[in-house]
Amino acid sequence: MRRPATELVHTPGESVQGAVVPPVHRSANYLQEDVGTYASVRYQRLSNTPQHLAIGQKLARIEHTDSALTFASGMAAISTALLALLSAGDHLIVQRNLYGGTATFLRDLARWGIESTAVDGADPSTWDAARRPTTRLFYLESISNPLLEVPELATAARWAHQHGLVAAIDNTFLSPVQYRPAEDGFDLVLHSATKYLGGHSDLVAGVVAGRADLVERIHHQQNHLGGSLDPQALFLLDRGLKTLHLRVPAQAATALRLARVLEDHPMVSRVRYPGLASDPAHSRAARFDGCGGMLAFELATPEAARRFVDRVRIPLHAASLGSVESLVVLPARSSHLGLTPEERAAIGISDSLVRMSVGVEDPDDLEEDVLRALA
């Protein structure tokens, strides 16, 4: 098997009439051959164009899974996967402190008769009490958004299998360059490919990779919900993947440097970055090949947090993450705005919390800019 960096650069079937770069297939439909099932009809909404198939193969190879699908967004991937695998009356266990979009989608599932229970992903002793006869799935994030908590990942996958549950994980914050959940036994790996996989703030996309039987069920659901990825976004995703192995380690190295600087700064009351020896998740993050380019830190007051976001000049005050440019947001006013103040407080997201996505700018320039904004 070729190493990840090689797999990321080369796309299956890329040489079409000698082209070095795979073409964009604009055709919405394709000549019909021997059709055995609805899914075998060649049609762009069914995610079976040459681009869909080639990029799915690439994603499966780098995730070390049987197969992979692309979606129109990260939330399309998450919602389609959960709807495909759960029915009314089912129950799932989720890690506490999930991405806000996922957390609010769980409310929709509850309206449709699918309930969830949140547990401490780092404390396996709490999991048994949450399990019901109707539990079908255990859902985690490799590093949580925005507090960068790390669950007991390998233990979670084993525990899920011991109880006949599907083990699913959102690996957006790390990417397969720094963690491949399938190697720990996870059945499904999800990404917002808008983030690190694309890496340039110019596309919205999602990914589900995993066991062939589960991905097939999810593909069937996707065909009906219609969350397929368009040809231009497929092209941009493939282009972004080619430099993933170069971008992510550089971003992680700068993030660790900034976390150390912030940890010693008198204006900062708390820093969350699993790469720090002082971080409560540090020992659990030892299994990663780096801890990603995301960090979070708490300032003294909400006013101080807003002032910092206004004063930095290099990081842009914008949503999303994982791109080549650094970004800063206040999670209470962005990713977790859909939660009530009481819900945010219960999971530790205060109005003084700043989340930073570290880009590929010069580390010296970033450090100087952060220190100036804090002065």
Q: Which residues are catalytic?
A: 45, 99, 170, 195
Place of tokens 């770069």: 21
Specify whether the CB–CB gap between 179 and 171 falls below 8 A.
Answer: yes
Taking Cα atoms as reference points, which of 155, 187, 197, 203 lies closest to residue 67? 187
How many CA atoms lie less than 13 Å away from 1 in the CB half-sphere?
A: 10
CA distance 301 to 269: 10
Nearest-angstrom CA–CA distance, 111 and 238:
37
CA–CA distances in Å: residue 115 to residues 212, 340, 352: 26, 19, 31
Closest CA to 28 of 42, 14, 13, 16: 42
Packing angle of the helix pair 50-63, 231-241 (nearest 10 deg): 30
* Strand ranges across the sheet with 316-317: 268-272, 294-299, 353-357, 327-329, 316-317
Q: To the nearest 5 percent, what fractions of the chain are helix, strand and coil? A: 40, 15, 45
Query: Which residues have CB under 8 Å from 131's CB, separation 6+?
Result: 93, 163
- The Cα–Cα gap between 42 and 38 comes to 9
On the CB side of 188, CA atoms within 13 Å amount to 31
**Which strands sit side by side in the sheet containing 115-119, from one edge to the other?**
67-71, 206-210, 188-192, 166-170, 135-141, 91-95, 115-119
